[in-house]
Amino acid sequence: MHTLIGQSSKVEKWGVFELALRGPESGNPFYDVRFGARFAQGGTVIEARGFYDGEGVYRVRFMPPGEGAWEGVTFSNRPELDQFSCRLVAESPSEGNRGPVEVANTCHFSHRDGTPYYPFGSTSYGWAHQPDEFAERTLNALAEGGFNKFRTGIMPHYSEHSLSTASCFPFQGNDGSDWDLSRFNPEYFRMMERRIEGLLERNIEADLILFHPYSGPWNFGSLPDWADKAYLRYAVSRFAAYRNVWWSLANEYDLMPDKTVEDWHSLCRTVAEEDPYGHLLSIHNGVRLYEAWKPWITHACIQDGLAVEIPGRAVALRNAYMKPVIYDEVCYEGNFKDRWGDLSAEELVFRFWQGAISGTYVGHGEVVEHDGLGRDVVWTGIGGELQGRSAPRIAFLRKILEEGPGCGWEPLDPWWHTGMARKEDKTFLVYLGKDAPGSWEFRLPTKELVLPEGAEFRVELIDTWNMTVTPVAGVFTALRRDDYFYGDRGGGKVPLPSAPYMALRIRALEG
């Protein structure tokens, strides 16, 4: 047993501890050398696979899930890397570090420390491979836009634009086609790590797309199975210690003709088995939904043009899966002529509310062609600055959902009512969508709600587009009207401005 000296020995809980050793450079270190470490605290042992980072350097990373001392011991098939030990102390997490996000309350999420997490994500498929300075601007736009999740590809995204900007690739070999699939390019993965770290600094989850069908002649969507699996193991060994990582096995998995559904099951399982932390894992579809009930799928990630267009539809898949449902692609705000890229900001904001009121979540994307730059140079292609008008309204919705205690808004009476949700039986949201009534009669469905007779409520009017919250005069008092509804004892109504996109927040007064 060797003891390592000179390794950083303090790290925060859910931070990244890294141990580096020198090892063999000859042969193919990516394939010939097995290397990793076991980290133990009492009876808890976490086995992390290490990786070859080029130039004779081997690294293994560890995200301590608990505070206090941890002992690490390496293992390897090479004596130069085997049986080194180290000791580290995990300290209290710093501000903003709430731990990885996981499923909570069946269809919702929270951080490991218990803080509820409401995903408000955007998407730029080819962001990661842009120059650092441009990628940094995107990060700032993302944070200013109020987003807390970013879906982005690990593999480069082939386009006119990327032909001129892609400077390195995941595999060694000549740009274009002659890849040595048995040798990764550490520089490429280090770039990806800078991106993940940039998101982490801003408390943004990195929803990493592992495969996609957009690699053109680079062909990364049609690699042989051994290369796919090796790539997954390499990516997991490098990225899994970052607490903000989510695995998205693919974008539009069903548009990759060389892989069967069974292949996808196997690729999903590979990631789930390799990842010692159980990060969130899903897969995104084109037209055909993946089997989201599979045990390795933590939440459904859905593309569907209608999913949240139609009131009452979003809840159907939630009812089926009983897992969190993120409608990560519901068409984009944009000025494309394609039907998937021509939403008005109003329509996209409407869809976000539709998802939220159904106890599901929605993802943002933007394809606004601007400054004569063409289709390839838009937000959802590469990042940059947001051009659209939906982001501030989406951030406003995020604020509404996050306010108050409880974890997750649940549809009220999902068998019947489509526009009402509750949190902890204390707060209710009513979303009126495209309707523009002049008033709203106070009523709450009885089906999943038992209110004490005489319970009192205050109501606020939310203008979801203009982002205002206005208290409504008076107090409403619950009276059971019939089998299905509580009304207000005095028959009270909430006056409304006869405009679309209004919502109401109803809060119980503490009795």
Beta-carbon neighbour count of residue 55 at 10 Å?
Answer: 9
Do the Cβ atoms of 122 and 142 come closer than 8 Å?
A: yes
Amino acid at 212: H
Smaller CB separation from a copy of itself, 182 or 319: 319
Distance CA 397, CA 353 (A): 7
Distance CA 463, CA 338 (A): 30
Q: What does the DSSP 8-state code read for residue 363?
A: B
Smaller CB separation from a copy of itself, 14 or 321: 321
Two structure tokens written together for 77: 């098939």
Two structure tokens written together for 153: 């590809």
Beta-carbon neighbour count of residue 290 at 10 Å?
Answer: 22
Smaller CB separation from a copy of itself, 322 or 509: 322
Q: Which of 10, 190, 288, 434 binds a copy of itself (CB under 8 A)?
A: 288
Do the Cβ atoms of 166 and 217 come closer than 8 Å?
A: no
Amino acid at 374: G
In whole angstroms, the minimum distance from the beta carbon of 251 to a copy of itself comes to 15
Do the Cβ atoms of 104 and 110 come closer than 8 Å?
A: yes
309 near a copy of itself (CB under 8 A): yes
Distance CA 419, CA 411 (A): 8
Distance CA 143, CA 148 (A): 7
- Of 209, 184, 210, 206, nearest to 195 by C-alpha is 206
Beta-carbon neighbour count of residue 76 at 10 Å?
Answer: 21
Two structure tokens written together for 253: 């998995």
Burial of 293 per CB tally in 10 Å (0-12, 13-18, 19+): exposed
Q: Which of 94, 403, 416, 471 binds a copy of itself (CB under 8 A)?
A: 416
In whole angstroms, the minimum distance from the beta carbon of 366 to a copy of itself comes to 20
In whole angstroms, the minimum distance from the beta carbon of 116 to a copy of itself comes to 23
Q: How many residues contact a copy of itself, by CB under 8 A?
A: 29
Distance CA 495, CA 483 (A): 26
415 near a copy of itself (CB under 8 A): yes
291 near a copy of itself (CB under 8 A): yes
268 near a copy of itself (CB under 8 A): no
Smaller CB separation from a copy of itself, 288 or 434: 288
Query: Pattern 431-470, binding to a copy of itself, x per CB under 8 A?
Result: ----------------------------------------
Q: Which of 24, 56, 312, 392 binds a copy of itself (CB under 8 A)?
A: 312
Q: Which of 38, 202, 313, 389 binds a copy of itself (CB under 8 A)?
A: 313
Q: Which residues contact 467 (CB under 8 A, 6 or more apart)?
A: 392, 393, 396
- Tokens 């301590």 locate to 64
Distance CA 251, CA 208 (A): 10
226 near a copy of itself (CB under 8 A): no
Q: Which of 26, 96, 178, 339 binds a copy of itself (CB under 8 A)?
A: 339
Smaller CB separation from a copy of itself, 134 or 296: 296
310 near a copy of itself (CB under 8 A): yes
In whole angstroms, the minimum distance from the beta carbon of 479 to a copy of itself comes to 19
369 near a copy of itself (CB under 8 A): no
- Of 83, 75, 74, 48, nearest to 63 by C-alpha is 48
3-state DSSP call for residue 367?
strand
* Contact region with a copy of itself (CB under 8 A), list: 66-74, 134-142, 241-249, 409-417: 409-417
In whole angstroms, the minimum distance from the beta carbon of 360 to a copy of itself comes to 12
Site for a copy of itself in 316-335 (CB under 8 A): 316-317, 319-322
* Contact region with a copy of itself (CB under 8 A), list: 10-18, 305-313, 356-364, 397-405: 305-313
Smaller CB separation from a copy of itself, 191 or 297: 297
Q: Which of 287, 373, 436, 509 binds a copy of itself (CB under 8 A)?
A: 287
Smaller CB separation from a copy of itself, 110 or 418: 418
The residues binding a copy of itself (CB under 8 A) are: 287-289, 291-293, 304-307, 309-313, 316-317, 319-322, 338-339, 414-416, 418, 483-484
